[in-house]
Structure 1
Amino acid sequence: MMTFGQRITYARKQIKMTQADLGKEVGTSGDIIGKYERDEIKPSIDTAAKIADALKVTLDFLVKNTEYQNIDNDALKRLKLMEKLSPEDKSHIFALMDAFFAKSKLKILMD
């Protein structure tokens, strides 16, 4: 299980970003990013959210033991909106999604 700092390091290296670049992106220094990565200090929740945005990962990925690194924020917003829908409306949306997923799988198989 990775620590918060290890997750920052992992995500940063995945997109080939330096500590200095990440620091500039979130309004701090590369030295401070290094301290976060070594788990010497912890950022505020606002800074952690900025780090997640800059690294194109979810805040949940950084702070929890979740396997989901890259969840599209637009998709998350839509999922939150779906929570307010009736069960019938949700069923219709799920049917549409299933149709698109099936179409995508078929296209992959045919290529």
Structure 2
Amino acid sequence: MSQEDLAQFLGTKGSAIGRYERDEMKPSIEVAAKMADYLVGKADIELGPKTLSRILKVSRFSEQDREHVFFVIDAFIANRKIQSITQ
């Protein structure tokens, strides 16, 4: 999940997510509660433990490395969409 996706889910901005990650800012109680609900599976979007573990590992990468990972994921998603249209 990108910072922008998480921000949209939480009702905040992507730059805020980056500031949370760098420990420059703490989320409000409301935002922290939404994050907690998401992490324990009470949110609309549920991730399995393997997926969540991978996302957390990627979130610790440098911004450049995260962008590379997301580029590959985005390319794969686009490829799957094209395949589903042509089949």
Q: TM-score, normalised by structure 1?
A: 0.40
Cα distance in 1 for partners of 2:63, 2:40 equals 29
Among the aligned pairs, what percent are the same residue?
22
Question: What is the one-letter code of the residue matched to 2:55?
Answer: L
Cα distance in 1 for partners of 2:52, 2:40 equals 12
2:73 aligned with 1:97: yes
2:63 aligned with 1:82: no
Coordinate RMSD, CA, aligned: 1.5
Alignment of 1:6-85 (within 5 A): 59-61=40-42, 66-68=43-45, 70-85=46-61
In structure 1, the gaps of 5 or more residues are 1-57
Count of equivalent residues? 49
SS at 1:96's partner residue?
helix
2:56 aligned with 1:110: no
Larger relative CO (CA 8 A, sep 6+): 1 or 2?
1
In structure 2, the gaps of 5 or more residues are 1-38
Q: Deviations over 1:41-67 (max 9, x none)?
A: xxxxxxxxxxxxxxxxx7422xxxx21
Question: What is the one-letter code of the residue matched to 1:67?
Answer: D
Q: Deviations over 1:16-44 (max 9, x none)?
A: xxxxxxxxxxxxxxxxxxxxxxxxxxxxx
Give the 4+ runs in structure 1 shifted more than 6 A.
none
Question: What is the one-letter code of the residue matched to 1:73?
Answer: P
Cα distance in 1 for partners of 2:71, 2:85 equals 21
